[in-house]
Structure 1
Amino acid sequence: MNFWHGMTTSWQFWAMLSALAAALTAIFAKLGVKGIPPDVATFIRTLVILAFVSTLLCISGQFALVKSIPRRGVAFLILSGLATGGSWICYFRALDIGKAGQVASIDKLSVVLVAIIAFLFLHERLSLTATIGVALITIGAICVAVAD
Protein backbone atom coordinates (compact mmCIF):
# COMPACT_ATOMS: atom_id res chain seq x y z
CA MET A 1 0.00 0.00 0.00
CA ASN A 2 1.48 3.35 -1.01
CA PHE A 3 1.61 6.41 1.24
CA TRP A 4 -1.13 8.37 -0.58
CA HIS A 5 -3.58 5.43 -0.47
CA GLY A 6 -2.82 4.94 3.22
CA MET A 7 -3.53 8.61 3.89
CA THR A 8 -6.77 8.80 1.92
CA THR A 9 -8.22 5.74 3.62
CA SER A 10 -7.50 7.17 7.08
CA TRP A 11 -10.29 8.87 9.02
CA GLN A 12 -7.67 11.13 10.59
CA PHE A 13 -6.63 12.45 7.17
CA TRP A 14 -10.20 13.36 6.23
CA ALA A 15 -10.91 14.80 9.69
CA MET A 16 -7.88 17.10 9.40
CA LEU A 17 -9.00 18.23 5.95
CA SER A 18 -12.43 18.86 7.44
CA ALA A 19 -10.88 20.96 10.21
CA LEU A 20 -8.87 22.95 7.66
CA ALA A 21 -11.97 23.49 5.51
CA ALA A 22 -13.96 24.53 8.60
CA ALA A 23 -11.26 27.04 9.52
CA LEU A 24 -11.31 28.50 6.02
CA THR A 25 -15.12 28.50 6.17
CA ALA A 26 -15.03 30.76 9.23
CA ILE A 27 -12.54 33.17 7.70
CA PHE A 28 -14.20 33.35 4.27
CA ALA A 29 -17.67 33.61 5.83
CA LYS A 30 -16.58 36.44 8.14
CA LEU A 31 -15.23 38.32 5.12
CA GLY A 32 -18.29 37.49 3.01
CA VAL A 33 -21.05 38.20 5.52
CA LYS A 34 -20.02 41.85 5.89
CA GLY A 35 -22.90 43.97 4.61
CA ILE A 36 -25.01 40.93 3.67
CA PRO A 37 -27.89 39.64 5.79
CA PRO A 38 -26.78 36.37 7.44
CA ASP A 39 -29.73 34.41 6.02
CA VAL A 40 -28.88 35.55 2.47
CA ALA A 41 -25.25 34.55 3.07
CA THR A 42 -26.40 31.12 4.26
CA PHE A 43 -28.56 30.74 1.14
CA ILE A 44 -25.62 31.54 -1.17
CA ARG A 45 -23.38 29.11 0.73
CA THR A 46 -26.06 26.42 0.46
CA LEU A 47 -26.37 26.89 -3.32
CA VAL A 48 -22.62 26.53 -3.70
CA ILE A 49 -22.60 23.34 -1.63
CA LEU A 50 -25.54 21.94 -3.62
CA ALA A 51 -23.75 22.61 -6.91
CA PHE A 52 -20.45 21.23 -5.59
CA VAL A 53 -21.88 17.98 -4.22
CA SER A 54 -24.14 17.49 -7.26
CA THR A 55 -21.11 17.78 -9.51
CA LEU A 56 -19.21 15.32 -7.33
CA LEU A 57 -22.07 12.81 -7.52
CA CYS A 58 -22.30 13.19 -11.31
CA ILE A 59 -18.57 12.72 -11.81
CA SER A 60 -18.40 9.71 -9.50
CA GLY A 61 -21.60 8.11 -10.83
CA GLN A 62 -23.23 8.01 -7.39
CA PHE A 63 -26.50 9.78 -8.26
CA ALA A 64 -28.10 6.38 -9.00
CA LEU A 65 -27.50 5.32 -5.39
CA VAL A 66 -29.82 8.03 -4.03
CA LYS A 67 -33.00 6.07 -4.82
CA SER A 68 -31.72 2.96 -3.00
CA ILE A 69 -31.24 4.62 0.41
CA PRO A 70 -33.45 3.03 3.10
CA ARG A 71 -36.29 5.22 4.46
CA ARG A 72 -34.80 5.24 7.95
CA GLY A 73 -31.54 6.57 6.53
CA VAL A 74 -33.39 9.20 4.54
CA ALA A 75 -35.32 10.29 7.64
CA PHE A 76 -32.16 10.74 9.70
CA LEU A 77 -30.39 12.50 6.82
CA ILE A 78 -33.33 14.91 6.56
CA LEU A 79 -33.06 15.59 10.30
CA SER A 80 -29.30 16.05 9.90
CA GLY A 81 -29.92 18.49 7.04
CA LEU A 82 -32.36 20.48 9.15
CA ALA A 83 -29.83 20.58 12.00
CA THR A 84 -27.10 21.67 9.56
CA GLY A 85 -29.31 24.43 8.20
CA GLY A 86 -30.09 25.64 11.69
CA SER A 87 -26.41 25.52 12.59
CA TRP A 88 -25.41 27.54 9.53
CA ILE A 89 -28.07 30.18 10.08
CA CYS A 90 -26.96 30.61 13.69
CA TYR A 91 -23.27 30.52 12.71
CA PHE A 92 -23.63 33.24 10.10
CA ARG A 93 -25.62 35.43 12.49
CA ALA A 94 -22.93 34.97 15.13
CA LEU A 95 -20.19 35.80 12.58
CA ASP A 96 -22.08 38.94 11.56
CA ILE A 97 -21.96 40.14 15.17
CA GLY A 98 -18.83 38.60 16.70
CA LYS A 99 -15.19 37.87 15.98
CA ALA A 100 -14.45 34.83 13.81
CA GLY A 101 -12.13 33.19 16.36
CA GLN A 102 -14.60 33.59 19.19
CA VAL A 103 -17.56 32.36 17.14
CA ALA A 104 -15.58 29.37 15.86
CA SER A 105 -14.45 28.46 19.37
CA ILE A 106 -18.01 28.32 20.68
CA ASP A 107 -19.05 26.43 17.54
CA LYS A 108 -16.43 23.80 18.40
CA LEU A 109 -18.31 23.08 21.60
CA SER A 110 -20.24 20.81 19.23
CA VAL A 111 -17.47 18.29 19.97
CA VAL A 112 -18.45 18.37 23.64
CA LEU A 113 -22.16 18.17 22.85
CA VAL A 114 -21.60 15.23 20.48
CA ALA A 115 -19.75 13.37 23.24
CA ILE A 116 -22.60 14.00 25.70
CA ILE A 117 -25.40 13.15 23.25
CA ALA A 118 -23.54 10.06 21.97
CA PHE A 119 -23.14 8.91 25.57
CA LEU A 120 -26.82 9.45 26.40
CA PHE A 121 -28.44 8.12 23.23
CA LEU A 122 -25.88 5.96 21.43
CA HIS A 123 -24.35 4.54 24.63
CA GLU A 124 -20.85 5.46 23.48
CA ARG A 125 -18.34 5.58 26.30
CA LEU A 126 -15.32 7.86 26.50
CA SER A 127 -12.01 6.73 27.90
CA LEU A 128 -10.46 8.75 30.70
CA THR A 129 -8.11 10.37 28.18
CA ALA A 130 -11.01 11.30 25.89
CA THR A 131 -13.00 12.69 28.84
CA ILE A 132 -10.04 14.89 29.77
CA GLY A 133 -9.82 16.00 26.14
CA VAL A 134 -13.50 16.95 26.07
CA ALA A 135 -13.05 18.91 29.30
CA LEU A 136 -10.03 20.71 27.84
CA ILE A 137 -11.98 21.56 24.67
CA THR A 138 -14.69 23.07 26.87
CA ILE A 139 -12.19 25.12 28.85
CA GLY A 140 -10.31 26.18 25.72
CA ALA A 141 -13.44 27.23 23.86
CA ILE A 142 -14.60 29.32 26.79
CA CYS A 143 -11.15 30.93 27.20
CA VAL A 144 -11.03 31.90 23.50
CA ALA A 145 -14.64 33.13 23.55
CA VAL A 146 -14.21 35.47 26.52
CA ALA A 147 -10.76 36.78 25.54
CA ASP A 148 -10.59 40.24 24.03
Structure 2
Amino acid sequence: MMMGDWFFWAVLSACFAALTAIFAKIGVNGIDSDFATLIRTILIACILAPFIWLTGKWSNPLVLPVRSLSFLGLSAMATGASWVCYFRALQLGEASKVAPIDKFSLVLVALFACFFLGERLSLREWAGIALVATGVLVLAIKR
Protein backbone atom coordinates (compact mmCIF):
# COMPACT_ATOMS: atom_id res chain seq x y z
CA MET A 1 0.00 0.00 0.00
CA MET A 2 1.51 3.31 -1.08
CA MET A 3 1.24 6.64 0.76
CA GLY A 4 -0.58 8.15 -2.25
CA ASP A 5 -3.14 5.37 -2.25
CA TRP A 6 -6.66 6.53 -1.35
CA PHE A 7 -7.21 3.35 0.69
CA PHE A 8 -4.29 4.16 3.01
CA TRP A 9 -5.74 7.59 3.77
CA ALA A 10 -9.26 6.19 4.17
CA VAL A 11 -8.00 3.65 6.76
CA LEU A 12 -6.19 6.43 8.63
CA SER A 13 -9.40 8.48 8.52
CA ALA A 14 -11.33 5.58 10.05
CA CYS A 15 -8.72 5.21 12.81
CA PHE A 16 -8.83 8.93 13.63
CA ALA A 17 -12.64 8.92 13.48
CA ALA A 18 -12.67 6.08 16.03
CA LEU A 19 -10.37 8.06 18.32
CA THR A 20 -12.59 11.11 17.79
CA ALA A 21 -15.56 9.26 19.25
CA ILE A 22 -13.62 8.13 22.31
CA PHE A 23 -11.97 11.50 22.97
CA ALA A 24 -15.23 13.40 22.35
CA LYS A 25 -17.20 11.14 24.70
CA ILE A 26 -14.71 11.91 27.47
CA GLY A 27 -14.54 15.60 26.48
CA VAL A 28 -18.28 16.30 26.62
CA ASN A 29 -18.54 14.95 30.15
CA GLY A 30 -19.83 17.78 32.33
CA ILE A 31 -20.06 20.50 29.65
CA ASP A 32 -22.68 21.51 27.10
CA SER A 33 -22.30 19.49 23.91
CA ASP A 34 -22.86 22.53 21.64
CA PHE A 35 -20.12 24.44 23.46
CA ALA A 36 -17.86 21.39 23.16
CA THR A 37 -18.48 21.40 19.41
CA LEU A 38 -17.46 25.07 19.22
CA ILE A 39 -14.26 24.42 21.19
CA ARG A 40 -13.42 21.47 18.92
CA THR A 41 -14.01 23.58 15.81
CA ILE A 42 -11.80 26.42 17.05
CA LEU A 43 -9.03 23.97 17.91
CA ILE A 44 -9.24 22.36 14.48
CA ALA A 45 -8.87 25.77 12.82
CA CYS A 46 -5.93 26.63 15.10
CA ILE A 47 -4.18 23.39 14.15
CA LEU A 48 -5.00 23.39 10.43
CA ALA A 49 -4.17 27.04 9.65
CA PRO A 50 -0.46 26.82 10.63
CA PHE A 51 -0.20 23.41 8.95
CA ILE A 52 -1.53 24.81 5.66
CA TRP A 53 0.72 27.86 5.91
CA LEU A 54 3.88 25.92 6.89
CA THR A 55 3.43 23.39 4.08
CA GLY A 56 3.04 26.17 1.51
CA LYS A 57 -0.53 25.22 0.61
CA TRP A 58 -2.09 28.58 1.49
CA SER A 59 -3.75 30.49 -1.34
CA ASN A 60 -6.15 33.40 -1.44
CA PRO A 61 -9.63 31.95 -0.89
CA LEU A 62 -11.18 34.99 -2.58
CA VAL A 63 -9.81 33.88 -5.96
CA LEU A 64 -11.36 30.41 -5.73
CA PRO A 65 -14.26 29.65 -8.07
CA VAL A 66 -17.65 30.67 -6.66
CA ARG A 67 -18.93 27.14 -7.26
CA SER A 68 -16.12 25.67 -5.11
CA LEU A 69 -16.69 28.23 -2.34
CA SER A 70 -20.44 27.61 -2.42
CA PHE A 71 -20.12 23.86 -2.10
CA LEU A 72 -17.42 24.16 0.56
CA GLY A 73 -19.83 26.44 2.45
CA LEU A 74 -22.60 23.86 2.16
CA SER A 75 -20.17 21.17 3.29
CA ALA A 76 -19.20 23.31 6.29
CA MET A 77 -22.84 23.76 7.27
CA ALA A 78 -23.49 20.03 6.94
CA THR A 79 -20.35 19.27 8.95
CA GLY A 80 -21.36 21.69 11.68
CA ALA A 81 -24.86 20.22 11.89
CA SER A 82 -23.41 16.71 11.95
CA TRP A 83 -20.97 17.59 14.74
CA VAL A 84 -23.66 19.26 16.86
CA CYS A 85 -25.87 16.18 16.53
CA TYR A 86 -22.96 13.79 17.07
CA PHE A 87 -21.74 15.51 20.23
CA ARG A 88 -25.29 15.65 21.60
CA ALA A 89 -25.71 11.93 20.90
CA LEU A 90 -22.36 11.17 22.55
CA GLN A 91 -23.35 13.15 25.60
CA LEU A 92 -26.61 11.23 25.91
CA GLY A 93 -25.52 7.77 24.79
CA GLU A 94 -22.68 5.28 24.76
CA ALA A 95 -19.88 5.85 22.24
CA SER A 96 -20.00 2.19 21.25
CA LYS A 97 -23.62 2.69 20.14
CA VAL A 98 -23.54 6.26 18.86
CA ALA A 99 -20.52 5.92 16.55
CA PRO A 100 -21.77 2.89 14.57
CA ILE A 101 -25.18 4.50 14.05
CA ASP A 102 -23.43 7.69 12.95
CA LYS A 103 -21.76 5.53 10.31
CA PHE A 104 -25.15 5.05 8.66
CA SER A 105 -23.77 7.99 6.73
CA LEU A 106 -21.90 5.34 4.69
CA VAL A 107 -25.21 4.10 3.33
CA LEU A 108 -26.40 7.65 2.66
CA VAL A 109 -23.13 8.57 0.92
CA ALA A 110 -23.55 5.62 -1.45
CA LEU A 111 -27.13 6.62 -2.24
CA PHE A 112 -26.31 10.32 -2.60
CA ALA A 113 -23.23 9.57 -4.74
CA CYS A 114 -25.39 7.55 -7.14
CA PHE A 115 -28.14 10.16 -7.25
CA PHE A 116 -26.15 13.42 -7.24
CA LEU A 117 -22.77 12.41 -8.68
CA GLY A 118 -23.86 9.70 -11.11
CA GLU A 119 -21.59 7.11 -9.50
CA ARG A 120 -22.44 3.47 -10.15
CA LEU A 121 -21.85 0.77 -7.59
CA SER A 122 -21.37 -2.89 -8.40
CA LEU A 123 -23.57 -5.62 -6.97
CA ARG A 124 -20.75 -6.50 -4.57
CA GLU A 125 -20.59 -2.88 -3.36
CA TRP A 126 -24.37 -2.70 -2.90
CA ALA A 127 -24.16 -5.93 -0.88
CA GLY A 128 -21.58 -4.28 1.39
CA ILE A 129 -23.77 -1.20 1.80
CA ALA A 130 -26.73 -3.46 2.64
CA LEU A 131 -24.62 -5.20 5.29
CA VAL A 132 -23.72 -1.83 6.83
CA ALA A 133 -27.39 -0.81 6.85
CA THR A 134 -28.32 -4.12 8.47
CA GLY A 135 -25.64 -3.63 11.11
CA VAL A 136 -26.97 -0.17 11.93
CA LEU A 137 -30.49 -1.55 12.28
CA VAL A 138 -29.26 -4.31 14.59
CA LEU A 139 -27.55 -1.70 16.79
CA ALA A 140 -30.52 0.66 16.71
CA ILE A 141 -33.17 -1.89 17.73
CA LYS A 142 -33.70 -1.85 21.47
CA ARG A 143 -33.14 -5.10 23.26
| TM-score above 0.5 | yes
Q: CA deviation at 1:42?
A: 0.1
CA distance in 1, matches of 2:141, 2:17: 21
CA distance in 1, matches of 2:129, 2:9: 20
Q: CA deviation at 1:115?
A: 0.7
The range that moved more, 113-122 or 64-73, is: 64-73
Contact 1:30 1:95 in 2 (8 A): yes
**Structure 2 unaligned residues grouped into runs of 5+:** none
Number of residue pairs the alignment of both structures matches:
143
Distance 1:8 1:146, change over 3 A: same
The reply to whether residue 138 of structure 1 matches residue 133 of structure 2 is yes
One-letter amino acid of the counterpart of residue 92, structure 1: F
Helix, strand or coil at the partner of 2:59: helix
The reply to whether residue 110 of structure 1 matches residue 125 of structure 2 is no
Choose the corresponding residue for 2:44, options 22, 39, 49.
49
Choose the corresponding residue for 1:29, options 14, 24, 31.
24
User: Which residue in the other structure is 1:64 paired with?
Assistant: 59
Q: Which has the higher helix share?
A: 1
One-letter amino acid of the counterpart of residue 57, structure 1: I
CA distance in 2, matches of 1:61, 1:80: 24
Helix, strand or coil at the partner of 1:8: coil
CA RMSD of aligned residues (A): 1.4
CA distance in 2, matches of 1:53, 1:108: 24
The reply to whether residue 123 of structure 1 matches residue 118 of structure 2 is yes
1:50-95, CA deviations, whole angstroms, 9 ceiling, x for partnerless residues? 0111011111111125343211001000000000000000000000
User: Which residue in the other structure is 1:74 paired with?
Assistant: 69
Q: CA deviation at 1:12?
A: 0.4
User: Which residue in the other structure is 2:8 paired with?
Assistant: 13
